[in-house]
Structure 1
């Protein structure tokens, strides 16, 4: 099993579940991340490279030698500009070269990570058949990659799964995002300034989401897959649930910020990921 992005927010959870499921792992990462992964996951094979998205199909063919499946969790995720960065296009082209190498190496299953931002928003019922109309470069790039890979893999024997992630939160999350911001403020007894909090979101703990993605290798589910809870929760209610852990709802200051112009009032999915049936034998 080969995994990219294993040191990331979602990738780390995927790797932990794969280990629990009995998979032997090969993790591809930049040198600094590779060193951390070697310490975290001593039983995994670590492949270090300068840039995952700069490698040739031939490099990926060699990296995938003996691998049955790939979970590709790497992407450009700088919170300051990832929504509109030209690096998204680099990720698309680099991933296609990875896919070419995977086919040449006879990989049997390719699992990629998409986003709820591929859909036409807002909506409280985003099934995998919902219309797509991304409003950001990030969403458009993910959707373009899904369509490219879907067409490409149909001409091969590779099974293709595409996991559209909704609002994952939890361990390892970027400190600038909502959950760690709230946790940091509340733990310190400091006010947390927020918008109105009326927007509806589909929140899912990243440990649950990561496990669902890892399990796809065993369930064999293919096609578009919504990794979400299916439960509409307002940002206000989500913030209050975090504040209740500290007994400090009084620290939440709603209405302090105006919503971002591109912030949709509702993003709620319809989950369709299959439940894994445990197997005892080890796989690679």
Structure 2
């Protein structure tokens, strides 16, 4: 039986990854502060404490590593100094794992590693201004603002947009030629035309606009160089936009579902921006499939089809029976808002062999039903 050590196993993505790994026949051991359900063994440790981290990795003696843990608090992770701590901890984690006999590792990345400045922007007329209605509303409103990046575990809607022009001292554009060679001629399109359309393949340039994206991009580059010298098989799962039951506050689908089910107004943009969303259960399963494969380098984890945010909110409105509470156009979008962010998933489908279980409509229906049940149970507790 293959033994895998999982970090972040109790998190939004991690609990689904654990279940998928068990289903694939892995002996799953977890490391962290909270024991995930369904694991075979748990090593309690603070991952940012080097002594505890190294002791847990050595005790696990795993052949595989799935590293999902990171700082993901909505509203702060884009520029949080904690990103530096997690970068250093992750480097040591992978090194300790390899030196303990590990042979295959997969680490969670993000679509915020890519350079978004070459993507077409939304037309000026779609960069809305707040309406008088929004400015005059009371405390019962939920404000859903401009879209943001994936952040590793979903789309956050309460923080500055990460696609602002990157800092001039960030690393130059980068093309991973080994990945390009692994792709078919069509799948390897990192050309300007595809990027302008927001269609991002794994060979598209990386030039992050945030500390979070830069930390992930820098970690990937260092780990790829280390893996090549240390004989470690390394995969890198680039997350796009996520949704599903159990989202923390500050993310689009969960916030919208909770607000409409509670009868609260939802102030949002016109929602013309198109984003690539994948159900969190499919994301967990995709990580398990990637780890179980021999595919190396970055692999996009998305649906492969970007849809207008408006369509997502309209679907949630219909599922909750409260489309009348959605105030489209009540919030502005920033001037650097990309019109589309979409994953090229041909490495995921062709090489990893993964296909998603949930379509968008089915996934939103399941998610809204889960939130309805959760709110009903919470209301019934005395």
Of 257, 282, 287, which residue of structure 2 is paired with 1:208?
282
Q: Which of the two has higher C-alpha Rg?
A: 2
Say if 2:30 is the partner of 1:27. yes
| 1-structure distance, mates of 2:55, 2:217 | 25
Of 55, 74, 82, which residue of structure 2 is paired with 1:59?
55
- Whether the aligned pair in 2 keeps the contact of 1:61 and 1:104 (CA below 8 Å) is no
- Whether the aligned pair in 2 keeps the contact of 1:3 and 1:72 (CA below 8 Å) is yes
- Whether the aligned pair in 1 keeps the contact of 2:31 and 2:56 (CA below 8 Å) is no
Say if 2:237 is the partner of 1:160. no
| 1-structure distance, mates of 2:270, 2:304 | 22
Closer, same or farther: CA 110–246 of 1 in aligned 2, 3 Å: same
Q: How many residues align?
A: 268
Of 2, 5, 8, which residue of structure 2 is paired with 1:2?
5
Map Cα deviations across residues 147-206 of structure 1 (whole Å, 9 max, x no partner): 010000100221000000000111221122111111112212322111121111001101
When the two structures are superposed, what TM-score results if normalisation uses the length of structure 2? 0.67
Tell me by how many angstroms 1:207 deviates.
0.6
| 2-structure distance, mates of 1:16, 1:90 | 28
Q: How does 1:229-248 map to 2 (within 5 A)?
A: 229-248=303-322
3-state SS in 1 of match to 2:17: helix
RMSD of aligned Cα (Å): 1.8
- Whether the aligned pair in 1 keeps the contact of 2:67 and 2:106 (CA below 8 Å) is yes
Tell me by how many angstroms 1:107 deviates.
0.4
**Mind listing any 5+ residue stretches in structure 2 that lack a counterpart?**
120-194, 356-382
Tell me by how many angstroms 1:13 deviates.
1.0
Closer, same or farther: CA 261–62 of 1 in aligned 2, 3 Å: farther
Match of 1:46 in 2: 42
Tell me by how many angstroms 1:220 deviates.
2.0
- Whether the aligned pair in 2 keeps the contact of 1:163 and 1:224 (CA below 8 Å) is yes
- Whether the aligned pair in 1 keeps the contact of 2:202 and 2:299 (CA below 8 Å) is yes
When the two structures are superposed, what TM-score results if normalisation uses the length of structure 1? 0.89
- Whether the aligned pair in 1 keeps the contact of 2:75 and 2:250 (CA below 8 Å) is no
Map Cα deviations across residues 60-93 of structure 1 (whole Å, 9 max, x no partner): 551342x110000000111121000111011111
| 1-structure distance, mates of 2:49, 2:334 | 33
Match of 2:75 in 1: 80
Tell me by how many angstroms 1:259 deviates.
2.1
Of 344, 353, 370, which residue of structure 2 is paired with 1:275?
353
Closer, same or farther: CA 58–192 of 1 in aligned 2, 3 Å: closer
Closer, same or farther: CA 137–151 of 1 in aligned 2, 3 Å: same
Q: How does 1:33-182 map to 2 (within 5 A)?
A: 33-34=34-35, 37=36, 40-41=37-38, 43-49=39-45, 51-56=46-51, 58-59=54-55, 61-65=57-61, 67-121=62-116, 122=119, 123=195, 124-182=198-256
| 2-structure distance, mates of 1:106, 1:276 | 28
- Whether the aligned pair in 2 keeps the contact of 1:64 and 1:101 (CA below 8 Å) is no
| 2-structure distance, mates of 1:219, 1:108 | 12
Tell me by how many angstroms 1:261 deviates.
5.7
| 1-structure distance, mates of 2:285, 2:27 | 16
3-state SS in 1 of match to 2:209: coil
Larger strand proportion, structure 1 or 2? 1
- Whether the aligned pair in 1 keeps the contact of 2:235 and 2:291 (CA below 8 Å) is no
Map Cα deviations across residues 253-283 of structure 1 (whole Å, 9 max, x no partner): 1111122466433211101212259xxxxxx
Closer, same or farther: CA 169–133 of 1 in aligned 2, 3 Å: same
| 2-structure distance, mates of 1:276, 1:265 | 27
Of 7, 17, 20, which residue of structure 2 is paired with 1:17?
20
| 1-structure distance, mates of 2:98, 2:246 | 32
Moved more, 257-266 or 135-144: 257-266
